[in-house]
């Protein structure tokens, strides 16, 4: 039992050092619950949108009689913002796929979304497609553009983009934990065991990742150079 507690404590400390902000993908839940935008306090939501999503600014000019307006005129769609010259491109660096990349982004913020009501304000980050080559002499190919919706309009753009890029690695780790280590597949019936076993296996998996990281730092000479 002491070993289990020690391993769980190790993984919790590792997660706290690795992430300064709790990031969860709850946008689907927010779309289903109309009050989710006001109840998800202290939770950072970053998710990818389709290219035809529309937004509004809050209505400012109100008539003295009748129902008060919540939404102003409709803003351009996410893809129209990408193609518009009214929004400037900004360059920002972020870590992905083992190295730093330079991303070109457009930003719009302070708007509201009909699907989640008029209480929460959002930030939109449009990412220009990245160019890549299948091999050295191949023609330049492009990935699809990305449209990120973020609930924290005060967070730095670099942190917002970096947290989103890290989310893929988190999902890969979850998949590996299920497929390679059988998280959630242990044949146990005791309620306490049902809670402890997945955490125990996840802690072991995390310790293996940390051991591999430390080994690669201290034993660089043991690895072959990359192929040219």
With vertex at residue 115, the alpha carbon angle to CA 113 and CA 118, rounded to the nearest 5 degrees, is: 50
- Residue 186 CA to residue 10 CA, distance in Å, equals 22
Per-residue pLDDT, 89:
94
Helix (H, G, I), strand (E, B) or coil at 49: coil
* Tokens standing for residue 185: 């597949």
pLDDT value at residue 227: 55
Report pLDDT for 37.
44
Work out the angle at residue 37's Cα, subtended by the Cα atoms of residues 35 and 42, and round it to the nearest 5 degrees.
125
Concatenating the DSSP letter of every residue in 80-110 gives HHHH-SSS--EEEEEEETTEEEEEEEEEEEE
Contact 121, 134 (CB under 8 A): no
Q: Per-block average pLDDT, block size 10, for the chain (228 residues)?
A: 52 46 42 43 73 88 77 91 93 85 92 85 90 80 86 89 84 81 80 82 83 72 56
């Amino acid at each position: 039992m002491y070993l289990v507690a020690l391993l769980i404590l190790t993984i919790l400390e590792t997660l706290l050092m690795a992430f300064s902000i709790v990031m969860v993908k709850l946008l689907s839940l927010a779309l289903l619950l109309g009050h989710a935008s006001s109840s998800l306090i202290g939770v950072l939501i970053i998710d990818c949108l389709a290219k035809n999503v529309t937004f509004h600014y809050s209505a400012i000019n109100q008539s003295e009689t009748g129902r008060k307006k919540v939404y102003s005129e409709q803003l351009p769609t996410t893809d129209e913002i990408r193609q518009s010259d009214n929004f400037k491109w900004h360059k920002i660096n972020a870590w992905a796929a083992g190295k730093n990349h330079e991303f070109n982004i457009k930003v719009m913020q302070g708007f509201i979304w009909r699907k989640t009501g008029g209480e929460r304000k959002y930030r939109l980050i449009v990412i220009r497609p990245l160019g890549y080559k299948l091999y050295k002499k191949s023609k330049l190919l492009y990935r699809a553009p990305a449209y990120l919706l973020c609930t924290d309009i005060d967070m730095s753009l670099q942190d917002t983009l970096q947290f989103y890029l890290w989310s893929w690695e988190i999902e890969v780790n979850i998949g590996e934990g299920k497929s390679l280590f059988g998280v959630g597949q242990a044949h146990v019936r005791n309620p306490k065991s049902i809670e402890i076993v997945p955490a125990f296996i996840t802690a072991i998996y995390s310790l293996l990742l940390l051991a591999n990281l430390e080994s690669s730092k201290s034993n660089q000479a043991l690895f072959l150079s990359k192929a040219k």
